[in-house]
A and B are shown apart, each in its own frame.
Chain A
Amino acid sequence: MNAYLAVAAVLFVCGVMCMATKRNGIGVLMGVELVLNGANINFVAFSKYGLLGLDGQIFSLFVIVLAAAEAAVALAIALNFYNNHLTIDVDQASELKN
Chain B
Amino acid sequence: METFLFVLFALSACGGALAVVLTQNVVRMAFWLVISLGSVAGLFFSLDADFVGAVQLLIYVGGTVVLLIFGVMLTSKEPFTAIKQNPAEIVQGAVVGLAFLAMVLATVYAVDWQSHQAVVVGHEHDGLPSGYNRPIEGNTARSIGTALLGVRFDRDLGKGGEHASGEHGHAHRDHDVSTGYLLPFEVVSVHLLVVLVGAAYLARAKRRRPVSAA
Q: Are A51 and B26 within 8 A (Cβ)? A: no
How many A-B pairs with Cβ below 8 Å? 211
Beyond A21-B90, A54-B155: 15 further Cβ-contacts under 8 Å?
A: A6-B105, A17-B97, A26-B71, A29-B71, A30-B30, A30-B68, A34-B33, A40-B56, A41-B43, A41-B44, A48-B48, A65-B192, A72-B196, A76-B198, A76-B203
Q: CB of A73 within 8 A of chain B?
A: yes
A36, B6: Cα distance in complex, Å? 20
User: What are 22 contact pairs spanning A and B, CB under 8 A?
Assistant: A7-B10, A7-B13, A9-B108, A11-B14, A13-B100, A23-B85, A24-B26, A24-B83, A25-B75, A26-B30, A27-B26, A30-B20, A30-B30, A33-B68, A34-B20, A45-B47, A48-B49, A57-B144, A58-B147, A67-B60, A68-B59, A73-B202
Q: Are A21 and B89 within 8 A (Cβ)? A: yes
List of 9 A-B pairs having minimum Cβ-Cβ separation, nearest first: A14-B17, A76-B202, A76-B203, A69-B195, A17-B97, A76-B199, A21-B93, A72-B199, A9-B104
Q: Are A26 and B147 within 8 A (Cβ)? A: no
Q: CB of B63 within 8 A of chain A?
A: yes
User: Which of under 10, 10 to 19, 20 to 34, or 35 or more describes the interface residues of A?
Assistant: 35 or more
Q: What are the interface flags for B87-118 relative to A under an 8 Å C-beta threshold, 1 for contact and 0 otherwise?
A: 00110010011001100110011000100010
With contacts A50-B113, A72-B196 taken as known, whether A65 is within 8 angstroms of B59 at the C-beta atoms is yes
Q: Are B26 and A26 within 8 A (Cβ)? A: yes
With contacts A40-B40, A41-B40, A61-B55 taken as known, whether A33 is within 8 angstroms of B144 at the C-beta atoms is no
A10, B97: Cα distance in complex, Å? 10
With contacts A37-B40, A58-B144 taken as known, whether A72 is within 8 angstroms of B67 at the C-beta atoms is yes
Q: CB of B188 within 8 A of chain A?
A: yes
Q: Give residues in B with beta carbon < 8 Å to A.
A: 6, 10, 13-14, 17-18, 20-21, 26, 29-30, 33, 36-37, 40, 43-44, 47-49, 51-52, 55-56, 59-60, 63-64, 67-68, 70-72, 74-76, 81, 83, 85, 89-90, 93, 96-97, 100-101, 104-105, 108-109, 113, 117, 120-121, 132-133, 140, 143-144, 147-148, 152, 154-155, 181, 184, 188, 191-192, 195-196, 198-200, 202-203, 206
